Amino acid sequence: DVGVTADGPLGKKTTFLVSARRSYLQFLFEALGLPFLPTYTDFNAKVKHKIDNKNEIYFLGLGAIDDFVLNQEANDTESKQYILDRLPINTQWNYTNGIAYKHYGTNGYTAFILSRNMLNNEAIKYKNNDASTEDNLILNYKSQEIENKLRVEQVSSYNHIEYAYGVTAEYVKYNNTTYNKIFTSAGPATIDYNSELNFLKYGAFITVSKNWWNSKLKSSLGIRMDGNSSTSSMKNPLRQTSPRLSLSLDIANNWAINFNTGYYFQLPPYTCLGYNEQGNFVNLSSGIRYIGAFHLVTGIEYKYNEYGRITLEGYAKMYDHYPILEREGISLANLGGDFGVIGNESVTSKGKGRTYGIELMAQQKLYKNYYGIMAYTFGQSEFTNSDGTYAPSSWDARHILTATLGKRFSKNWEMAVKYRYQSGLPGTPYDQNSDLVINWDRNASGILDYARINTLRYQGGGFLDMRIDKKWFFKKWDLNLYFDVQNVLGTSISRQTLVLDRPLDEDGKPIGAGVITNPNAQVSEQRYALKSIEDGVGTVLPTIGIVVSL
């Protein structure tokens, strides 16, 4: 990627920082023969003005543009052709900007923060990527999430007790235009609607913090209330009262026990709130609710010197009122992260969830030219489906290990390696009707059998990344050259994927259209010849970079 950053004074009381970056991954992906070409652009700006010793104001702006197009020349394998037939063309942009004013008093400050953020997401897909006729249109999706926010907070201290309290208000706009041909276990369906949803969100909070016994015990107690005007089931903030408590106790030299607990509320995705059938907001009418989550985290920490620490933590989280997708009869958490629109359908707030585990972490800050961090997590995550039975969630990786080690050498050389291992994620078998022509022509893939949601377990894998830096320091500028390689070992995680079973040419490239095994049957009963392939791709991504600092 290419980026530029500038900062400095705009006057005696004003400073600024601006940066912009654009990736050129599309050229690397094209050279590697990958069937998709991403381009990322982001920028940010900050201006801070000190009015006097007690007042300051600052502006912050962030933005990003992500483009995702198809490389239709990369179609020389069955796996690549499957990806080209499946992936939509996607464009996404977002921004956040705001202005904040702070007034400093004797024992604290008052802050007024006004901000706006917007996310625009568009996706389009044609059968066989042929846009010559609208009859081929499979997906045309556009959504906008707009939030205008006001936050007023007071932070102060009195008699060695710190207080933080305030109120929040948001005006939300959600726009959605969806046209999507799908095929489910119940048969073909077309989702076609426009939706415009406007509502207010509001909240209040207070946190009290105090240290005891010469700061050996640190405590924080808080409470928050949230509500919104979208539906009567979520209007009353007393129904969304969330208390939380945090304690940290030094029990001996360099040893401490930490404890955190609380009950939190999260608004369901806007795709669920804004789902519309013939002018009726279905999920709002049925009484959709905030997702509730009880969190409990406790652990022990040992600081073996001023540069390093080791922690062992256990956690448990219990979820309530989690959205259940009525069409599939499964939890939103169990749906998975495949390409498509998530939550754009009728749901009920009857789901439950549970996740728990332990994490061991060792961290070493820079000491004698070495630094590193290692973390191992063992956990389990399950959510109920419509029948009340628990099934593994889509992110239920039981074992996760990450380790980073770096060393600074003489003459401004530096090297770091990172290793990541994750055990296999859950998967769902294909439905026996996956080969129906009327399905495949809409989905370009098999149908998942949601009655057996996440009953499979894919293989895990380890990934190794490496980076080498060399820096030069001159009188008025600095130069940093780096060489970065992601997935040095070329590790791939393979999954069984259904594809059309077509003839192959002498180079192994599939040719021709799908083969119908029963061409004389009724159209609704005709079936394609399918086969299963391994879709894992172990791509090594090398990068050479130059950073110039003036």
Residue the block writes with tokens 């074992």: 399
SS in 3 state form for 382-442? EEECCCCCEEECCCCCCEEEEEEEEEECHHHEEEEEEEEEECCCEECCECCCCCEHHHHHH
Q: Could you tell me which residues come within 8 angstroms of residue 312 by beta carbon, excluding any fewer than 6 positions away? A: 299, 300, 358, 359, 360, 361
Q: Give how far the C-alpha of residue 342 lies from the chain's centroid of Cα atoms, to the nearest Å.
A: 13
What is the per-residue pLDDT for 539? 85
Tell me the C-alpha distance between 409 and 228, whole Å. Answer: 56
- Yes or no: say if 402 and 416 are a contact pair by the CB < 8 Å rule: no
At residue 7, the pLDDT reads 92
Q: For the chain, percent helix, then strand, then coil, each to nearest 5?
A: 10, 65, 25
DSSP 25: H
Backbone φ and ψ for 441, nearest 5 degrees, come out as -65, -15
Residue ranges of the chain whose pLDDT lies below 70: 336-341
Block residue for tokens 């080969």: 435
Question: What distances in angstroms separate CA 85 from CA 61, 126, 540, one per listed residue?
Answer: 37, 9, 24
Rounded to 10 degrees, the C-alpha dihedral 325/326/327/331 comes to: 30
Question: Partners of 336 in the beta sheet?
Answer: none
* Per-residue pLDDT, 32: 85
Distance of alpha carbon 172 from alpha carbon 239, whole angstroms: 20
